[in-house]
Amino acid sequence: MGLIAEFRLTSLELPLTNAVAAVPAVTVYIERLLVVDPDRPVAVCRVVDDPDDEFRDAVTADPTVADAVAIDDADEHARYRIELRDPPVPIYRKYIELGTIPLGGIVTVDGWWARARFPDRDALAAYREFCLERGATFHLERLTRESAADDPPFSLTNEQYDALVAARDIGYFEVPRAASTEAVGEQLGISGPSASERIRRGIDRLLENAL
């Protein structure tokens, strides 16, 4: 299983940086990346907070953009298909070389936020070094190990997951509460205090991963 990394990059030479700097109020959400040619990836992006469509001209003038086509234009956002040139900091070409899978990105005037699946820690370290060598700053915000398909979600243990499911099913979370921790424990074959601890730790883990 790989590693899921969330990190921030800042550099004036990152893709789309010029376009966003020209319209600093916008936020660009990279929804999909189509990589046929590693030197010319195509990003499907959603652009918000651009009521006057200033980004349309700014993205065309960005030197890291080979072509940009608006494919959707709603009241709240516009969606673009953007073909990127190979920039001075070719972050997506390095993804391909390291066997890394991009999972999403956000571009603002403060830089790039990205989420990607790295095959191992060596690949992540190589990617960080690659960015630093090219003058970009790299700040790792979160690193988690990818779960197997049958593992509980949100990094819960099996015991925490079972306790939360049992508690929900018998009404522990209802208002007013319809079941006690002792009743949850009976469902699980454990004591009430043990059930209470599993529920509490499970909720804490859920909040840690959701907030």
pLDDT per residue as tens digits for the range 85-138: 877 778 888 888 898 988 888 999 999 999 898 999 999 999 999 999 999 999
What is the pTM for the complete model shown? 0.67
With 70 as the cut, is the pLDDT of residue 24 above it?
yes
pLDDT per residue as tens digits for the range 147-174: 655 566 667 888 888 899 899 889 999 8
For residues 99 and 211, which has the higher predicted lDDT (pLDDT)? 99
In contact, 18 and 85? CB cutoff 8 Å: no
With 90 as the cut, is the pLDDT of residue 32 above it?
no
pLDDT of residue 158: 83
Structure token digits, residue 202: 């499970």
Cα separation, 208 vs 124, whole angstroms: 23
With 60 as the cut, is the pLDDT of residue 211 above it?
no
pLDDT of residue 150: 58
- Residues near 68 by beta carbon (within 8 Å), at least 6 away in sequence: 56, 59, 60, 80, 81, 82, 83
Which of 96, 136, 148, 88 has its CA nearest to residue 118?
96
In contact, 58 and 23? CB cutoff 8 Å: yes
pLDDT of residue 142: 86
Mean pLDDT, rounded, for 67-78:
81
- Average pLDDT taken over every residue of the chain: 87
Mean pLDDT, rounded, for 4-16:
91
Cα separation, 15 vs 89, whole angstroms: 8
For residues 86 and 49, which has the higher predicted lDDT (pLDDT)? 49
Cα separation, 63 vs 3, whole angstroms: 32
Positive or negative, the CA dihedral 61, 65, 66, 70 is negative
Concatenated DSSP letters for 165-181? HHHHHTTTTSSS--S-H
Q: Quickly state the pLDDT bin for 64 (edges 50, 70, 90).
A: very high
Mean pLDDT, rounded, for 138-143:
90
Cα separation, 26 vs 13, whole angstroms: 18
Mean pLDDT, rounded, for 140-148:
78
User: Which of these ranges, 56-65, 74-83, 137-146, 158-167, has the smallest mean pLDDT?
Assistant: 74-83
Cα separation, 18 vs 3, whole angstroms: 31
Cis peptide before 176 (omega within 30 of 0): yes
With 80 as the cut, is the pLDDT of residue 38 above it?
no
pLDDT of residue 210: 59
